[in-house]
A and B are shown apart, each in its own frame.
Chain A
Amino acid sequence: MKIFREKAKEICTKSQYGEATWWELLQLNLFLFLWKECAEFSAKNTKLTSLCEQANLHVISEEEKKAMKEQLKDC
C-alpha cells in the first residue's frame, strides 16, 4: 500500500509540470478519491507550484557557476 501512495505522490509531482500521462492522471484521481493523505499532499504540491511562480525565482546557470568557481580559485 505504501508503494502505491508513494507512486501517487510522484504522479502528483509530475502533474504539477503538466507531464503526467492520461493513464497516470486517471490513477492519480483514483488515489485522490481513496486517500485523504494523498489529497493533502496534492494540495500542498499545488500550493508550492503557485509559491514558486509568485516568487519569480532566478538562478545562475550551472555553466556560469562553474566559471565563477574557476575565477574564485584564481583569487
Chain B
Amino acid sequence: MPTHELQPENWVDRYADYLFNYAIARVSDSELAKDLVQETFIAGLKSAKNYKGDAAERTWLIAILKRKVIDHYRKINSKKGKAEVRINYSTDEGDGDWLEERVADPFGKGGDHVIENEELGLAIQECIAKLPKKQAKVFNMKTIQGMSTEDICNELGINPSNLWVMIHRARTALMGCMNETWF
C-alpha cells in the first residue's frame, strides 16, 4: 500500500531550494544547477505514473536529480571527446562506476568538513521548508540573499516591525527544528 503521494503543485515551494543546494554542491555552477532542478521537476511530472509511493516525494525527486547530474557529466565528457576518462573502473577491491560515486559523494575521501557543510545546508533547507510560506520567504530574503530590510518591506508590502516578528518566529522555529542534531 503506497504511503506517499505526489503533489506537483507544491514541488517548487517545497523542494526547489533543497534540490538546488544538492545540485550546486555537485556541479558548482548556479545556472546549471537551476536548469537541472527544473529538468528534474519536468521529468518528475512525465514519470509521475511510475511513482509507487514507497519513497517520500523528496527522496524520489533527489533520485531523478542524481540521474540528471550523471547525464550532465556524461554529456560534457562525450562532447569534449574525453573518451579516455575512466567512467567505469576495476580494481583489486572491486568494480565501480566513477560517475555514480562522484554524484553520491562529490567531495571524495578526506572532504569530511565539506560533506558536513553540505549535510548542514540540506538540514537547514529541510527545516526552512517546514516554515509557513511567508516566514520562509522573509527568512531567505534576509538571511540567505542578504537583502536590506527596506527592500524586503517594499517588495512584500510589510513594515519593518512585521518583518522582524516574522524573522524572529522563523529563527525560533529553525532552532527548534535543528536542535537535536546541530545545537
Min CB gap B73→A, angstroms: 20
Are B30 and A58 within 8 A (Cβ)? yes
Consensus secondary structure, chain A interface: helix
Q: How far is the CA of A45 from the CA of B175 in the complex (A)?
A: 8
Closest residue of chain B to A49 (Cβ to Cβ) is B143
Which residues of A sit under 8 angstroms from B83, Cβ to Cβ?
A: none
Which residues of B sit under 8 angstroms from A59, Cβ to Cβ?
A: 17, 20, 140, 144-145
> Does B153 make an interface contact (CB < 8 A)?
no
Interface size on B, residues (CB 8 A): 41
Per the 8 Å Cβ criterion, residues 24-53 of B in contact with A are 24, 30, 33-34, 37-38, 41-42, 45-46
> Does A37 make an interface contact (CB < 8 A)?
no
Task: Decide yes or no: A45 and B171 within 8 Å by CB, A14-B164, A65-B16 being known contacts.
Answer: yes
Are A44 and B124 within 8 A (Cβ)? no
Q: How far is the CA of A65 from the CA of B164 in the complex (A)?
A: 24
Min CB gap B123→A, angstroms: 8
Are A57 and B144 within 8 A (Cβ)? yes
Task: Decide yes or no: A62 and B124 within 8 Å by CB, A68-B16, A75-B45, A75-B46 being known contacts.
Answer: no
Consensus secondary structure, chain B interface: helix
Q: How far is the CA of A10 from the CA of B42 in the complex (A)?
A: 41
Per-residue CB contact flags for chain B residues 170-183 toward chain A (1 = under 8 Å, else 0) read: 01101100100011
Q: How far is the CA of A54 from the CA of B124 in the complex (A)?
A: 11
Are B41 and A68 within 8 A (Cβ)? yes
> Does B158 make an interface contact (CB < 8 A)?
no
Which residues of B sit under 8 angstroms from A14, Cβ to Cβ?
A: 164, 168
> Does B135 make an interface contact (CB < 8 A)?
no
* 23 sample A-B contacts, Cβ–Cβ < 8 Å, listed by A number: A9-B168, A9-B172, A13-B168, A17-B167, A44-B175, A47-B183, A51-B120, A54-B120, A55-B120, A56-B117, A57-B21, A57-B121, A57-B125, A58-B17, A58-B21, A58-B30, A59-B140, A60-B16, A60-B20, A65-B12, A68-B37, A72-B8, A72-B42
6 additional A-B pairs beyond A55-B120, A68-B37, beta carbons within 8 Å, are A44-B175, A44-B183, A58-B21, A59-B140, A75-B42, A75-B45
